[in-house]
Amino acid sequence: VGVAPLARDSGSMRGTRSIWGGRASVRQALYMGALVAVRFNPHMRTFYQRLRAQGKVAKVALVAAMRKLLVILNAKMRDQMAAAAAT
């Protein structure tokens, strides 16, 4: 999906990490989903606010919420597939 922070360092130069690669359409859908989740889902809101309180930039905290949302969605799909295979 391309939400892992990747470094573009060279020699002694250390820059900020950025996300890139993966499928842009999935990343865009995750962005909107994470934006809604940090506003209305209590668990994701707490996660986002904790990151912001630690001094993370808003966009960095939102990308972390995107990644967390992706992990949750993958786990739900895995469990749904396992339940379907069991029946």
* Range of weakest confidence among 18-22, 49-53, 63-67: 18-22
What pLDDT is attached to residue 5? 76
The CA distance from 17 to 43, in Å, is 26
Per-residue tokens: 29: 């859908």
State pTM to two decimals: 0.82
What pLDDT is attached to residue 74? 93
Give residue 15's identity as a one-letter amino acid code: G
Dihedral, CA of residue 47, residue 27, residue 19 and residue 75, to nearest 10:
50
In a domain, 10, yes or no: no
In a domain, 54, yes or no: yes
In a domain, 6, yes or no: no
In a domain, 70, yes or no: yes
Our count of domains for the chain comes to 1
In a domain, 43, yes or no: yes
pLDDT digits (tens, 9 = 90+) for 13-30: 777 777 778 888 999 999
In a domain, 8, yes or no: no
Q: Chain-wide mean pLDDT for the chain?
A: 90
